[in-house]
Structure 1
Amino acid sequence: SHKVKEVPRYTQESNLSSQFSFLAEVPACGYKVYYIKTDKSPREFRMDELDFDLDNYRIENQFYKIIVSKSGKIKLIDKETDEVYEDLCFIEDVGDWGDEYDYSGPKDNQMDIKYTSEDADILSLTQRINGPTQKTLELSLRLKLPSALTEDRYKRENVLVDNYFKIYLSIYDNIKRVDFRIEVQNNSRDHRLRVLFPSKLVASKIFVDGHFYVIPREISLPNGDNWVQKPLPTNHQKDFLALHEDNTSFSITNKGLPEYEAIMNEDGTITIAITLLRCVEWLSRDGFETRGGHAGPQLKTPGAQCIGNHIFELALLTVSNKNGWMDSLIHKKAKEFNNPLLPVFPTMAATPLRFMDKVLVNPTGIMSIYVGNNESNLKRYLPEELSFLELENDKVMLSILKKADNDGDLIIRVYNLSENVETTSLKLFNKLIIKNAQLVNFLEESPKNKIKANIDAIEENKLFLTLKPHVIATLKLEIECKVEK
């Protein structure tokens, strides 16, 4: 095996040593230049404390009020609906008798003990960030968990070891979303660690992001008669999941956490469980509750116990007065959460040459945070704000924007999330002209079978496209730059 060190794609060429944040409005598939001007003393920001505020136990913006109790319980109030959500990001830990393929609880002759946030010791609750655009609370906990299963796998060990948690709660000015960053120091084996989000919504279905499609899944399980393996309540997700009742949506977005469970409570409301860790010893084993035989090679995998430090990121969104997940634009908000803006400090250079792994905003002169008011006199070959590609229809999502494998054409792949026929325009940077466009398959070749999409028209830098329900369309564009006279 080889250790790989990640090297940043761009180098930071600046002597700024302070951390700062601001809200940026950046065009689709594009960029926007912001000039950072330093001063000897910071400017004073005046804000309405009722709209955007923080203290040791409360955090608030225009949309949410979040209260963390001294016992570590997290309560959220949606200020637009006055709905109260309690026990958010509630920790749940149980033993895991399974393998890397499947979780399993105990058999009838085995015994488990569940541990939750109720068993945790609160180490601290402090302000982490108190800025004009972001407020963050940090909740630190210690949870004593069994060290492992016993050797005979009858129960979890009586010996308890310390496991440490840090939960960062963040809200932002003018953004209706609550971010959860969870840092875990895992020192236990043979267990499953999850966080729970009670939704208070009554629903029979959950809508789950998948591959090119949002899957409506029944929450109640089939009976599974005559199934080789009984149905399990856990399931797969991609970027988000959403519940909906009347005109209210409750959604959780995630970064790389593929397993969830929709738990139906006695009152019919649904609690969402997101798996953080499954810590097991074997790639495959047999003889546990949820599966009878092997699912793969019987190989010992001690690294799958996931001992050490881990970071998880989630976000909670509640939306009212919208008809379902699509009208709530949860699919777009989840993409925004998973693809945050990338800040780049362009290299300061006085040369027309192109350097490897550098971003030169000007072919000559210096584009720098220190330019001051003279920047308007500099010659630029790119504007300060630019969108390379924009789609007008929120139900049509971008999957790929890349250079073709075999020539210099542009490949754009989009897909229709809707169950209806959708039309959209694709607009390129206005210095580009679309000379030719064709529909191709995933191999970037002319398709043998007809693709249920149609290129309706091309107007210089715009292409008009119609897609039938749930269709994936790959476009191959021959483009050229306009010649300025």
Structure 2
Amino acid sequence: MNKKKTVHIISHTHWDREWYLPYEKHHYLLIEVMDQLLDTLETDPNFKSFHLDGQTIILDDYLQVRPEKADQIKKLIEAGRLEVGPWYVLQDEFLTSSEANVRNLQYGMRDAKKWGGLSKIGYFPDSFGNIGQAPQILQQADIKAAAFGRGVKPTGFNNAVIDASAYESPYSEMKWQSPDGTEVTGILFANWYCNGNEIPVDEEKAMRYWDEHLKNLETFASTTHLLMLNGCDHQPIQMNLSEAIALANRLYPDYTFVHSSFNDYIDAITKETKEQDLKVVEGELRSQHTDGWGTLVNTASSRVYLKQMNEKTQTLLEKVAEPLAAFRYLIDQTYDHDLFAYAWKTLMQNHPHDSICGCSVDEVHDEMVTRFKKSEHFTEMLIDRTLEEIIKHIHTDVFDDEEVYPFVVFNTLGDPRTDTVTVTLDLKRAYYRDGVNKASLRKLSVDGFVVTDEHKNVYPVQIEDQGLVFDYDLPDDRFRQPYMARRVTLTFNAQALPALGYQVFALVKGDCPATSLVNKACQMENDYLTVEIAQNGSLNITDKRTAKKYRGLNVYEDTGDIGNEYMYKQSSDGLVRTTENEVAQIELVEDSPISATYKITHEWLLPESAQETLEQEQKELVWFTNRQSERSLKEKPLKIETFVTLSHQATYVDVKTTLNNNIKDHRLRALFNTAMKTEHHYAESVFEAAKRQNTPNSEWTNPDYSQHQQGYVDVSSVQQGLCIANKGLNEYEILSSQETTIAVTLLRAVGELGDWGHFPTPKAQCLGEQTVEYRIIPHSGEAERFDAYQLAHAFQTPVITKALPVQGGTYPATHRFIGVDKTKALSYSNVKVAEASGDVMLRYVNLDHQQHRLNLNADEKWTYYQSDVIEREHQPLISNDVKVNGHEVFTVGIKSSEVSK
């Protein structure tokens, strides 16, 4: 006999904080919906529960206007009638960093528990694809299931049912497995997250409704528990739902209809799925077995300026501010969690999928720029104040020179770092309280200096005289102190800066001969690389370590784009323009003791926009895949200035490209021919160097095969490799014709939001000055690719410097706060202090499939234990023998019994 089936009806509203309306307009609507919801929960005891979209920020937004409702909300959450969390916001997983995804979970779970409840489901209702390490992250937080709307097979939008038997899983339920083998129960919203929307209370309409919906539900269900989501985008609650459920129970006695919750639904299906074999879906969910048009991957290149601001700010927080604060904590036990919560939450308000993806109306993204600046400025103050406290303890009285200007260089990354360092120093200050003699400041000489360290190693230096500069101190015990200073900016190449530590240097009088890197016209060379600039402006790079040559790197490609903020669609003429046959102007603009830089200028004639027919197609809601517009016959010159830099110690080439974009409806990319034939490549994703195939699956019909990246994309063979690192350039494509070419999107300019209506977005054309930065890293192939990934992370993370006086101190001139020895495959992620325990948290991820060992410095003052992404204490660790499994995200907790010295 067939078991009676249960229909779980979960009330919810998918609340995009901002999208087709600016934030405050959606905010106003949220107040109305929440008022209605609270009234219904209080007056209808049969309205059992409501899922608050998996994001706790909704409560913050509501209570801004209705603070008096806090007690009522807390009681409802404690009673299980409001389900909140586990996220702070519903982020785009691919466009936010590894640590940003973890902070989102940490702050969301922390806030939910303060309210008295937690929805224990990894909720990704509308994420534009899902990261491969999500199951491991969730399991470490004791979350055993995840629900998502995209990424596995064609989703039945608007309750349509699609035959998915040929795809990854025939059911909505599956096992989703991370690269390390960790699994959670995965639930696909096969009929979308509005498949139980607006249930009728009229008997005749209800029968028609349920006859169709029950059939659709049973098509994909592997258990006797059927999932219906009663709600949709910004959907007001169905206040008569209790009546609708009671009617359904009367009409269909073979089913049980319950007003359910995700916690209850997960418990129910878990009991049944244990009894049967579900398909295992591995790693990233990027809709690889579809036609490729619905992945929304090109949101990775919409409004690139937003991605750049996000990369800068989240890097400052996770790779600079938090590590420096952890260093200070090891000195004086001071760490202000509230300040970090404010900085992170301000930043994460830009991380929802319709925000960071750049696929909203212009007003939304205007406000995002302000939020980015708020978080960036606050973080900069956090860094500055932390540095002021740390440097008080550093011993700098190690130089014998008469004229000494000490400064400290911090390496906040987990590997030793050789890099170009820029420092600003004041040779002399004159405070207004004491009187200012500007003439005496001007007389100070800035010539004849070198940089030295405590071991008397001498470094060539390039000095830029800033002249007289006004500045001020903001002491914590008196009024602001303005002054005039004779200021210089110096640049030198530091070698092997200690990991998670610092080194003191000083500017002193002296002489150090330096050789030029320019050995002939349009060519630079150091001990590792030779860089030749061709007449068309492309780069020919020879890796002297492997004798491999890479030719024609950094050719620019431009195509028309008649798509929208979500998806790229090449103009119907199919024309592809490149600079391969252009003639560039090449000029040497720097030849210093530190580096050499060439400026390459292209004056490139391109179509000024799409034809006028595109605007008509947009207004008439012609779906972007069916548009026929071509590029305009009118052309304009696009001026591109490319600065190519090679420094003395570099095993890479840095590129900075500036253009004043005056072209509409187009995509600009940089092409890098790797001269290799491969079937796969690697791209940085969240806690992963994801191994991806170069060519799509057979179901893919989209001519474009763009994909997401974080800090780098890499093509490797056994004997050679080419890695392209970036700062906020999140989209690339592998062009596999005869030789594998990496195409990195630098700019995509479109004029509409897209999706369900006509929403013009003129600012998405990204007109005006645009600057992008990337790094070209040749390497010796599969065995050494992890070295290249370290250089990519160093490219994103600034070296932090601070001037300090000649002084005594309890910390030496060179110091590591946390000593770690490891293999290159163990990639450092972050160090911070846990709020609950006060212990230091140090996180790595194993980018390799093989197990690797981590050795922590033995110190009787410290004990180590294995932690997790929500910073709990698990089993103790033996410091000199920590095993990290393949692809494992590994967090070390460090207990300190006294202040570390």
Measured against the shorter chain, the TM-score band is 0.7 to 0.9
Structure 1 residue 161: Cα displacement: 2.1
Query: 2:810 maps to what in 1?
Result: 381
Aligned pairs for 1:143-158 (under 5 A) are: 143-153=604-614, 154-158=629-633
Query: 1:358 maps to what in 2?
Result: none
Deviations 1:424-461 (A, max 9, x none): 12338x7x8214x44333222457xxxxxx64314xxx
Structure 1 residue 202: Cα displacement: 0.9
Give the direction of change, closer, same or farther, for the CA distance of 1:74–1:414 in structure 2 (3 Å limit): closer
- In 2, Cα distance between the equivalents of 1:231 and 1:165? 27
Give the direction of change, closer, same or farther, for the CA distance of 1:323–1:473 in structure 2 (3 Å limit): closer
Structure 1 residue 69: Cα displacement: 3.1
Aligned pairs for 1:38-53 (under 5 A) are: 38=509, 43=511, 45-47=513-515, 52-53=517-518
Query: 1:465 maps to what in 2?
Result: 882
Deviations 1:211-253 (A, max 9, x none): 111111111211117xxx7484111111122222231112211
- In 1, Cα distance between the equivalents of 2:867 and 2:716? 37
Query: 1:416 maps to what in 2?
Result: 846
Give the direction of change, closer, same or farther, for the CA distance of 1:339–1:145 in structure 2 (3 Å limit): same
1:313 aligns with 2:773: yes
CA contact (8 A) 1:222 1:231 kept: no
- In 2, Cα distance between the equivalents of 1:194 and 1:387? 41
Query: 1:104 maps to what in 2?
Result: 569
CA contact (8 A) 2:861 2:900 kept: no
1:272 aligns with 2:737: no
User: Residue 426 of structure 2: which of 3, 11, 14 is its match?
Assistant: 14
Aligned pairs for 1:90-169 (under 5 A) are: 90-106=555-571, 110-118=572-580, 120=582, 122=584, 124-153=585-614, 154-169=629-644
Aligned pairs for 1:285-434 (under 5 A) are: 294=755, 298-320=758-780, 322-326=781-785, 329-346=787-804, 366-367=805-806, 378-393=807-822, 394-427=824-857, 433-434=861-862
What secondary structure is seen at the aligned counterpart in 1 of 2:801? coil
Query: 2:732 maps to what in 1?
Result: 260
Structure 1 residue 92: Cα displacement: 0.3
What secondary structure is seen at the aligned counterpart in 2 of 1:34? strand
Counterpart code for 1:252: I
- In 1, Cα distance between the equivalents of 2:673 and 2:883? 40
What secondary structure is seen at the aligned counterpart in 2 of 1:304? helix
1:282 aligns with 2:752: yes
Give the direction of change, closer, same or farther, for the CA distance of 1:411–1:81 in structure 2 (3 Å limit): closer
Query: 1:59 maps to what in 2?
Result: 524
Counterpart code for 2:560: G
Give the direction of change, closer, same or farther, for the CA distance of 1:121–1:71 in structure 2 (3 Å limit): closer
- In 2, Cα distance between the equivalents of 1:172 and 1:386? 26
- In 2, Cα distance between the equivalents of 1:187 and 1:56? 32
- In 2, Cα distance between the equivalents of 1:483 and 1:186? 53
Deviations 1:341-389 (A, max 9, x none): 222223xxxxxxxxxxxxxxxxxxx33xxxxxxxxxx421221111122
* Aligned positions, number: 415
What secondary structure is seen at the aligned counterpart in 1 of 2:764? helix
Counterpart code for 2:576: K
Counterpart code for 1:434: W
CA contact (8 A) 1:65 1:77 kept: yes
What secondary structure is seen at the aligned counterpart in 1 of 2:856? strand
Structure 1 residue 299: Cα displacement: 2.6
Give the direction of change, closer, same or farther, for the CA distance of 1:144–1:38 in structure 2 (3 Å limit): farther
| TM norm structure 1 | 0.78
Counterpart code for 2:812: P
Structure 1 residue 478: Cα displacement: 2.1
- In 2, Cα distance between the equivalents of 1:274 and 1:78? 21
User: Residue 504 of structure 2: which of 33, 38, 45 is its match?
Assistant: 33
CA contact (8 A) 2:681 2:715 kept: yes
Give the direction of change, closer, same or farther, for the CA distance of 1:126–1:473 in structure 2 (3 Å limit): same
CA contact (8 A) 1:423 1:467 kept: yes
Query: 1:248 maps to what in 2?
Result: 720
Structure 1 residue 401: Cα displacement: 0.6
Structure 1 residue 155: Cα displacement: 1.2
Query: 2:258 maps to what in 1?
Result: none
Structure 1 residue 56: Cα displacement: 4.2
Query: 1:288 maps to what in 2?
Result: none
Q: Which runs of 5+ in 1 are unaligned?
A: 285-293, 347-365, 368-377, 448-453
CA contact (8 A) 1:242 1:325 kept: no
What secondary structure is seen at the aligned counterpart in 2 of 1:242? strand
What secondary structure is seen at the aligned counterpart in 1 of 2:553? coil
What secondary structure is seen at the aligned counterpart in 2 of 1:392? strand
Deviations 1:31-50 (A, max 9, x none): 111100146xxx36153x6x
Deviations 1:78-132 (A, max 9, x none): 33344332221100000011111111113xxx3243222146563x422222112
- In 2, Cα distance between the equivalents of 1:68 and 1:483? 51
Give the direction of change, closer, same or farther, for the CA distance of 1:75–1:388 in structure 2 (3 Å limit): same
1:441 aligns with 2:441: no
- In 1, Cα distance between the equivalents of 2:825 and 2:504? 29
Counterpart code for 1:433: K
Give the direction of change, closer, same or farther, for the CA distance of 1:113–1:323 in structure 2 (3 Å limit): closer
Identity across the alignment (%): 22
CA contact (8 A) 2:713 2:723 kept: yes
Q: Which runs of 5+ in 2 are unaligned?
A: 1-366, 389-423, 428-464, 467-487, 615-628
Counterpart code for 1:240: Y
CA contact (8 A) 2:536 2:581 kept: no
Give the direction of change, closer, same or farther, for the CA distance of 1:175–1:119 in structure 2 (3 Å limit): closer
CA contact (8 A) 2:841 2:891 kept: yes
Give the direction of change, closer, same or farther, for the CA distance of 1:83–1:412 in structure 2 (3 Å limit): closer
When the two chains are superposed, the root-mean-square deviation of aligned CA atoms in Å is 2.7
Give the direction of change, closer, same or farther, for the CA distance of 1:231–1:155 in structure 2 (3 Å limit): closer
Greater strand fraction, Structure 1 or Structure 2: 1
Query: 2:648 maps to what in 1?
Result: 173
- In 2, Cα distance between the equivalents of 1:312 and 1:382? 39
Query: 2:39 maps to what in 1?
Result: none
Higher Cα Rg: structure 1 or 2?
Answer: 2
Structure 1 residue 467: Cα displacement: 2.0
Structure 1 residue 136: Cα displacement: 1.1
Give the direction of change, closer, same or farther, for the CA distance of 1:203–1:118 in structure 2 (3 Å limit): closer
Give the direction of change, closer, same or farther, for the CA distance of 1:73–1:443 in structure 2 (3 Å limit): closer
Q: Which moved more, 1:53-62 or 1:9-18?
A: 9-18
CA contact (8 A) 1:167 1:182 kept: yes
Counterpart code for 1:457: I
CA contact (8 A) 2:502 2:816 kept: yes
- In 1, Cα distance between the equivalents of 2:664 and 2:900? 64
Give the direction of change, closer, same or farther, for the CA distance of 1:81–1:425 in structure 2 (3 Å limit): closer
Query: 2:694 maps to what in 1?
Result: 219
- In 2, Cα distance between the equivalents of 1:71 and 1:194? 16
CA contact (8 A) 2:644 2:655 kept: yes
What secondary structure is seen at the aligned counterpart in 2 of 1:20? strand
